Chains A and B, each alone.
Chain A
């Protein structure tokens, strides 16, 4: 039974492994088009979908900033500010393109405030990504 379950998990598509990170009542489901990593030397689409108390909210309900730091977030480093637009496949998501040159670990920081006061608490969510070989 255990072996069957492991096999099934291994065969699940990458999309099913999107990481969900929470801060209070807010949860962000992150995804990238490079299988939960970043391609070096090429554009990677990164995005997120927000839920508040389990209910999906539209991107315009949050004044969000999505930042990418090399390594861990540091006040000594200017992050890449990702320009966001509504998701192409999922209008409830927000997404943007990033391009990293150096292999290694990066951290996405999603910082948000409610567009309408009181809708949810301000949040700051971090999600670590690793680079992947850019294979044709």
Chain B
């Protein structure tokens, strides 16, 4: 298990270095001036749903980031190529452009760099960078599409640029909470309004789930486990105080993204609320903000109603983020 994790990490770092080197070169090479972000996003959408970017030809980005679940997969741990189970829960991609620290451990500062992680992870797409590029170059349709959009054959750099461009289009600010915040007093139920007061008051959830995106983009140990074999941020820092810390996830559309936490270890929102109300487990690195809240049943129900009010129903149905139309093959 550790060996697999190590090799995945090594592969990711190698790929990342390759990409960074490539980006450095690209900055001195002439880029066509007419490359629009929307054309990149269109191509990125096709690539997002393309299973050819995996070693078994069956796994696409959309396998773990399903639109109907706000771009998560409903599984505790995601399944990759050949049915191999990963080690973490698939995070939502909604409003992912706003995030500055990607992956549960926050190890990637950009969507372009992040895309290399799952592509090369043996438990996800399981494709080495050169295999990924070759698969695209072997496909006449994608060769044509990359030429149309980037004026060049597929490459690792343009692949990640296209994927990132599509992911940046997945934006959602149309929940009952948003409408309520904009002045529509009828947008949220009375219970949800009471829950909002608890969220920003007694429960103080806002310390970590802050701002428009309901995340501080920082890492915390949320005392969910007495002991957590996944060391989280400490994978990058090796610091004792970072063991078991993970980046705060957004709460937008959280009612669609069960199960919860980095390892999907909490099946329901009710269980999440109950955990925080109880004050968590005595993990040595538990965030000091986590303390017993002693929420009553009614308060827990109201808090749950507020969390449901963060769901933008159009996220699951917007055709712009669904599977692309059938390929228009070159005659």
Q: Provided the pairs A75-B221, A75-B228, A75-B284 are in contact, do residues A117 and B240 lie with their beta carbons within 8 angstroms?
A: no
Total contacting residues, chain A, CB less than 8 A: 17
- Which residues of B278-297 have CB atoms within 8 Å of chain A's CB atoms? 278-279, 282-285, 291-292, 294
Query: Once the chains are docked, how many angstroms separate the CA of A77 from the CA of B283?
Result: 10
- Which residues of B235-289 have CB atoms within 8 Å of chain A's CB atoms? 240, 243-244, 278-279, 282-285
Residue contact B227 to A117, C-beta cutoff 8 Å = no
> Given the complex, which residues of A lie within 8 Å of B294, measured CB to CB?
117
Residue contact A109 to B240, C-beta cutoff 8 Å = no
Q: Provided the pairs A81-B226, A122-B292 are in contact, do residues A75 and B244 lie with their beta carbons within 8 angstroms?
A: yes
> Given the complex, which residues of A lie within 8 Å of B221, measured CB to CB?
75
The listed residue (B240, B278, B282, B285) touching A111 by CB distance below 8 A is B282
- Which residues of A57-87 have CB atoms within 8 Å of chain B's CB atoms? 65, 67, 73-79, 81
Q: Is B231 an interface residue (CB 8 A)?
A: yes
Residue contact A77 to B227, C-beta cutoff 8 Å = yes
> Given the complex, which residues of B lie within 8 Å of A111, measured CB to CB?
282
Query: Shortest distance in angstroms between A61's beta carbon and chain B's nearest beta carbon?
Result: 14
A-B contact pairs, 22 of them (CB 8 A): A67-B282, A73-B284, A74-B240, A74-B284, A75-B227, A75-B231, A75-B240, A75-B243, A75-B244, A75-B283, A76-B243, A78-B226, A79-B226, A109-B282, A111-B282, A113-B279, A117-B292, A117-B294, A122-B279, A122-B291, A122-B292, A124-B282
A-B contacts, CB under 8 A, total: 39
* A interface residue numbers (CB < 8 A to B): 65, 67, 73-79, 81, 109, 111, 113-114, 117, 122, 124
Query: Once the chains are docked, how many angstroms separate the CA of A75 from the CA of B283?
Result: 6
> Given the complex, which residues of A lie within 8 Å of B278, measured CB to CB?
113
Q: Please list the 5 inter-chain residue pairs (A to B) with the smallest Cβ-Cβ separation, ordered nearest first.
A: A111-B282, A78-B227, A75-B243, A117-B294, A75-B285
In the complex, the chain B residue whose C-beta lies closest to that of A114 is B292
Query: Shortest distance in angstroms between B167's beta carbon and chain A's nearest beta carbon?
Result: 32
> Given the complex, which residues of A lie within 8 Å of B283, measured CB to CB?
75
Query: Shortest distance in angstroms between B121's beta carbon and chain A's nearest beta carbon?
Result: 23
> Given the complex, which residues of A lie within 8 Å of B244, measured CB to CB?
75
> Given the complex, which residues of A lie within 8 Å of B285, measured CB to CB?
75
In the complex, the chain B residue whose C-beta lies closest to that of A126 is B284
Query: Once the chains are docked, how many angstroms separate the CA of A53 from the CA of B61?
Result: 57
Query: Once the chains are docked, how many angstroms separate the CA of A111 from the CA of B284?
Result: 10
Query: Of residues A76, A77, A109, which shows the largest number of chain B Cβ atoms within 10 Å of its Cβ?
Result: A76
Residue contact A65 to B292, C-beta cutoff 8 Å = no
Residue contact A113 to B292, C-beta cutoff 8 Å = yes
Query: Once the chains are docked, how many angstroms separate the CA of A113 from the CA of B231?
Result: 26
